[in-house]
Amino acid sequence: MNRPVNLFVPPWAACLPTNGCENLTRPGDLAILASMYQRFEIPTAPAPPLHPVPNKFLPVVRRPGLAWMLLREAFHYRFQRDVLLSRPCIYGVFSGPVGGFLPRTQLCVGCMRCVQEYPDVCQVFVDERWKALGDSYFTPDSISTLNYEATTGKIMVKGVGYKGPFAGEGFDGLWTDMSEIVRPTRDGIYGREYISTAVELGRKPTHVDPRAETVAAEEPVLELQVPFLFDLLPDACRGNGAEAAAIAAAARVRSLCLLPWRGLACAPIRRAEEAVVVPVVAACEAVEAARFLAGKAFPAIEWTDAAPADLPRLRSALPGSVPLLRVPLGSGTSAEVRALAAAGAGAFHVTADYHGRTADGSFVKDALLKLHDSLVEAGLREQVTLVASGGIVRAEHVPKAILCGADLVALDTAVWVAQGAALRGEFTRAGRRALDFPPLPPAWGAQRIVNFCAAWRDQLLEILSAMGLREVRRLRGELGRAMSYEDLEKEAFGDLERSA
Partner 1 sequence: MSEGDVVAKHVENLHRGLSALGRGEHPIPEALGNYRWTAELILATWQQAETGKPPTNGMEYKVGRSGGGFDRLAFKFLPPERRLPADLEPDLSIPLNRRPEGERIDIALPTYGGGMSFGSVSLNFMVARCMAARQLGTFTSTGEGGFPDALLPYKDQLITQIATGMFGVREETIQAARIVEFKYAQGAKPGLGGHLLSDKVTAEVARMRESVPWASLYSPFPFHSVYSVEDHKKHLDWVRTIHPKALLSVKVSTPTDVDMVAVGSYYAGAHILHLDGGYGGTGAAPEVAKKNIAMPIEPAIGKVHRYLVSEGVREQVTLIASGGIRTAWDVAKAIALGADGCVIGTAEMLAVGCTHCANCERGRGCQVGITTTDPLLSQFIDPDWGARRIRNLYESWKLQWRDILRSLGLRSIRELVGRRDLLLYRDR
The footprint of partner 1 on residues 6-45 (CB under 8 A) is none
Residue with Cβ nearer partner 1 (175 or 444): 175
What are the DSSP E strand ranges found in 71-133? 122-126
Instruction: Please state, as a whole number, how many other Cβ atoms lie within 10 Å of the Cβ of residue 125.
Output: 14
Cα–Cα distance, 221 to 4 (Å, whole number): 9
Of the candidates 146, 337, 367, 467, which one interacts with partner 1 according to CB under 8 A?
Answer: 467
Pick the closest to residue 103 from 161, 167, 58, 169 (CA basis).
Answer: 58
Residue with Cβ nearer partner 1 (187 or 377): 187
Cα–Cα distance, 49 to 441 (Å, whole number): 11
Measured from the CB of residue 350, what is the shortest distance to partner 1 in angstroms?
A: 23
Does the protein bind partner 1 through residue 75 (CB under 8 A)? no
Question: Sign (positive/negative) of CA torsion 317, 8, 448, 348?
Answer: positive
Residue with Cβ nearer partner 1 (122 or 250): 122
Does the protein bind partner 1 through residue 462 (CB under 8 A)? yes
Measured from the CB of residue 174, what is the shortest distance to partner 1 in angstroms?
A: 8
Residue with Cβ nearer partner 1 (117 or 360): 117
Does the protein bind partner 1 through residue 147 (CB under 8 A)? no
Size of the site for partner 1 (CB under 8 A): 81
Binders in 154-213 for partner 1, by CB under 8 A: 155-167, 174-182, 184-185, 187-188, 190-191
Which DSSP helix (H) or strand (E) runs through 59? strand 57-61
Binders in 113-132 for partner 1, by CB under 8 A: 113, 115-120, 123-126
Does the protein bind partner 1 through residue 64 (CB under 8 A)? no
Of the candidates 411, 463, 472, 475, which one interacts with partner 1 according to CB under 8 A?
Answer: 463
Residue span binding partner 1 (CB under 8 A) among the ranges 52-60, 327-335, 377-385, 422-430: 52-60
CB 390 within 8 A of CB 355: yes
Identity at 182, one-letter amino acid code = V
Question: Sign (positive/negative) of CA torsion 195, 198, 203, 207?
Answer: negative
CB 201 within 8 A of CB 194: no
112-118 — which CB contacts under 8 Å span 24+ positions? Answer: 113/88, 113/89, 114/59, 114/61, 114/88, 114/89, 116/88, 117/88, 118/65, 118/69, 118/88
Measured from the CB of residue 403, what is the shortest distance to partner 1 in angstroms?
A: 11
Measured from the CB of residue 458, what is the shortest distance to partner 1 in angstroms?
A: 9
Measured from the CB of residue 176, what is the shortest distance to partner 1 in angstroms?
A: 5
Pick the closest to residue 318 from 299, 302, 345 (CA basis).
Answer: 299
Does the protein bind partner 1 through residue 107 (CB under 8 A)? no
Does the protein bind partner 1 through residue 411 (CB under 8 A)? no
Residue with Cβ nearer partner 1 (82 or 305): 82
Binders in 378-397 for partner 1, by CB under 8 A: 395-396
Measured from the CB of residue 89, what is the shortest distance to partner 1 in angstroms?
A: 8
Does the protein bind partner 1 through residue 92 (CB under 8 A)? no
300-306 — which CB contacts under 8 Å span 24+ positions? Answer: 300/258, 300/324, 300/325, 300/326, 300/349, 301/325, 301/326, 302/326, 303/327, 303/340, 304/328
Binders in 220-239 for partner 1, by CB under 8 A: none
Cα–Cα distance, 316 to 102 (Å, whole number): 70
Does the protein bind partner 1 through residue 66 (CB under 8 A)? no
